[in-house]
Amino acid sequence: MERRILVVGPVGAGKTTAIRAVSDIAVVDTDVRASDAVAMMKPTTTVAMDMGIMNVGEGDRVVLYGAPGQDRFDFMWDILLTQIDGVLLLLNHQAPDPLGDLRRYLDAIRIRDTRGRPLVVGVAHVDSAPSDSLESYQSVFSAAQRACGCVRCCPPIQALDARVPQDVRTVLMALAALLEFGQRQGARRCQLQTETGSRA
């Protein structure tokens, strides 16, 4: 069985690093030298996508697609979302406004992904933060949890180090478990997604 996962998040969240950490093939990337404000954060940036494959045994594998973090390349989302089963949203806890990043990406995903694919949130760079640091991320979903409660509105939120293969694998396997659960139980349609679509 093959699962296809889209890895999204702002610049510097660790998308390319995470894919490289677990891929069993040489990662196909479209990194180029950063030439704008991004260059202050990192030397290269993804302009189309990254692609890696993680083998999980018994012939099963997870194909990982990394989307560009810069807004000007977000047209790639529409292309990649047609090919994937679930979404891993990576955030940088040390960014200036990580909760704002979370809200912005959730809105973008909800608008683009009309199928309501399962979502898992991975938060990097929390190693020096208090143990309750993930609670602030969970609070972003509290209203959606009351209104709906589907896997999109109540996603697992896990801390990870994008450089550590086991950390990345753990988050990806949580997403794979959601996909398997959805297949067995039948996907519950997101009520917020339905309401958004009916108003469009």
Give strand ranges (E) for 130-180: 157-160
pLDDT tens-digit profile, the chain (200 residues): 899 999 999 988 999 999 999 999 998 876 555 455 444 444 455 555 889 999 998 899 999 999 886 666 566 777 888 889 999 999 999 999 999 999 999 988 888 887 888 999 999 988 765 556 788 999 998 877 777 777 777 889 999 999 999 999 999 999 999 888 776 655 556 666 655 554 44
Distance between CA atoms of residues 116 and 108, nearest Å? 12
pTM of the model as a whole: 0.83
In sequence order, what are the residues at sequence separation of 6 or more whose Cβ sits closer than 8 angstroms to the Cβ of residue 118?
Answer: 85, 86, 87, 151, 152, 155, 175, 178, 179, 182
- 165-181 tens-digit pLDDT: 999 999 999 999 988 87
- 62-79 tens-digit pLDDT: 999 998 866 665 667 778
Q: What is the CATH number of the domain that holds 185?
A: 3.40.50.300
Cα distances (Å, whole numbers) of residue 145 to 65, 151, 185: 28, 9, 19
> What is the number of structural domains in the chain?
1
Question: How many Cα atoms occupy the beta-carbon half-sphere of 147 within 13 Å?
Answer: 13
Here the tokens at position 91 are 């955030």
Q: At what angle do helices 98-112 and 191-199 cross, to 10 degrees?
A: 60
Query: Domain of 53?
Result: 2-199
Q: Is the Cα torsion angle 52, 163, 14, 148 positive or negative in sign?
A: positive
